[in-house]
Amino acid sequence: MSELVPVLSQTDIQERVKSLAHEISADYAGKSLVVIGVLKGAFIFLADIVRHMSVPAQIDFVRLASYGADTKSSGKVRLTKDIELDIKEKDVLIVEDIIDSGLTLAFLVEHLQTFNPLSVKVCALIDKIERREKEVAVDYTGFTIESGFLVGYGLDCNEDYRGLPDINNLKL
């Protein structure tokens, strides 16, 4: 039987999301942003954070796959849905749910750079540091967590648990 151990409450998440949004709004004051969410895991985080931002933002999504049905990265990243907006000479903010090996994010940053944006920064709700293989700069981090497989608030295990309002450690 798998067990869910609470890690971050709804209140913890909402407070942190609000303060990240304020930090981002201050840094980009007077500018506009293209916010790019990484499907599917970041859909709830993105929806929450953009509603607390005071800078104008256009929104787009990419879909990247690296896990298959496993809880460990396969190491191979595939882009299965690209951006649809033109980001040339735009300030881009990637919104990601969780960074584990860093391979997904490193791949995405490199991919977006080919469109010649003005800047690319990264906002991740969770930075899971234990399994980092590729160093990637994370400009805005919600929470730093040592290890564990987390589900809820958009995060899944085999497509389950995304709708949970809080974040839990899934003990298989």
Compute the residue count for the chain.
172
Residues 146-165 that bind Mg ion (CB under 5 A): none
**Residues 41-60 close enough to bind ligand IMP by CB under 6 A:** 41
CB 66, min distance to ligand IMP, A: 5
What is residue 94's three-state secondary structure? strand
Q: Using CB under 5 A, which residues numbered 31 to 70 contact Mg ion? A: 41
Stretch that binds ligand IMP, among 21-29, 47-55, 66-74, 84-92 (CB under 6 A): 66-74
Find the shortest distance in angstroms from Cβ 39 to ligand IMP: 9
Asked whether 125 and 145 are in contact (CB, 8 A), the reply is no
Instruction: Name the residue nearer to Mg ion (CB basis): 41 or 142.
Output: 41
> Cα–Cα distances in Å, from 72 out to 131, 137, 148, 154, 157?
10, 21, 11, 17, 10
Active-site pick, 100, 139, 160, 166 = 100
The Cβ-side half-sphere exposure at 55, using a 13 Å CA radius, reads 22
Nearer of residues 84 and 135 to ligand IMP, judged by Cβ:
135
If binding is defined by CB under 6 A, does position 168 make contact with ligand IMP?
A: no
Q: How far is the CB of 129 from ligand IMP (least distance, A)?
A: 11
> What part of residues 75-134 is at the interface with ligand IMP (CB under 6 A)?
96-105, 128
Alpha-carbon distance of 100 to 145, in angstroms, equals 10
33, β-bridge pairs: 57, 91
Smallest distance from the beta carbon of 2 to Mg ion, in angstroms?
17
Q: Annotate 101-128 with DSSP letters as a single string.
A: SSHHHHHHHHHHHTT--SEEEEEEEEEE
Residues annotated as catalytic are 100
